[in-house]
Amino acid sequence: MLPTFRTSLDEIRQKLTHIGENLVTANRLILKALQNCDETTFNEARNSIKNITAKADEIDNAIIKVLALYTPEARDLRQVVAYFKISNELSRACSNTRSFIRGFTDVCKDLDVKEINEYASLMQTSTVKAITTTVKMINVDDMDELQEMYEEVLIEENKVDDLYEMIERKLVEQAEGSSTFEKYHRMLRALRKSEKIASRAISVANLLVYIKIGGNIHN
């Protein structure tokens, strides 16, 4: 392929990395904000992913241009298609993050510190680890290293799933017959968004592995 094709792909990869880093920053700030329901820090997290839709659209347009100009084949085409899907997954992860911020700030003041540390902080810690590793994968070319990092993301995503199920059971038990049922219900709805962010991370990680080895794309 022509050098200009590679340059275009590198630029797309840099833009994907930038969105991913903003996503990581937002979720790290959320984890910090959870400690004392700090509304200012929640707002910082929200501001970290402003205008992401426009940035994702810019990436999509660049990908369409690459397809039109260079008509890539085989692995090159696989990479372009994967980048297109990664852009979408990162955009949706940012949307999930905004929803999590909105949902948790709505309920945070009604919860005590023990509940937050026992439930939300544990889930968010694994979510941050999952997306941090996934974003690093965007710029990794070694297949063995990529596979190891994929396994790390998978472990953290599984932790988030397990924690959510455990939390759901426990909160439902606590909420039964309680006047605070609505509070627990809102908390679960917010935590569900954290679970979805981790799911986006494993989808992106899977696509990055797909670029290297091919096969079916699993979303």
Q: pLDDT band for position 219 (50/70/90)?
A: very low
Give the count of beta carbons closer than 10 Å to the beta carbon of residue 128.
23
Residue 218: inside a domain, yes or no? no
Helix (H) or strand (E) holding 181: helix 181-213
Whole-number pLDDT of residue 191: 87
- In whole angstroms, what is the distance from residue 12 CA to residue 7 CA? 9
- In whole angstroms, what is the distance from residue 36 CA to residue 41 CA? 10
For the ranges 31-40, 106-115, 122-131, the one whose mean pLDDT is highest: 122-131
pTM of the predicted model as reported, rounded to 2 decimal places:
0.90
Domains in the chain, number? 1
Q: pLDDT band for position 119 (50/70/90)?
A: confident
- Residue-wise burial string across 41-56, b where 16 or more C-beta atoms lie within 10 A, e elsewhere: bbebbbebbeebeebb
Which residues contact residue 94 at a Cβ distance below 8 angstroms, ignoring those fewer than 6 apart?
A: 19, 22, 23, 26, 49, 52
Q: What is the CATH number of the domain that holds 19?
A: 1.20.58.220
Q: CA nearest 139: which of 3, 9, 47?
A: 9
pLDDT tens for each residue of 6-41:
899 999 999 999 999 999 999 999 999 988 889 999
Cβ atoms of residues 147 and 215 within 8 Å: no
Whole-number pLDDT of residue 94: 97
- Domain of 148, in residue numbers: 3-213
Residue 62: inside a domain, yes or no? yes
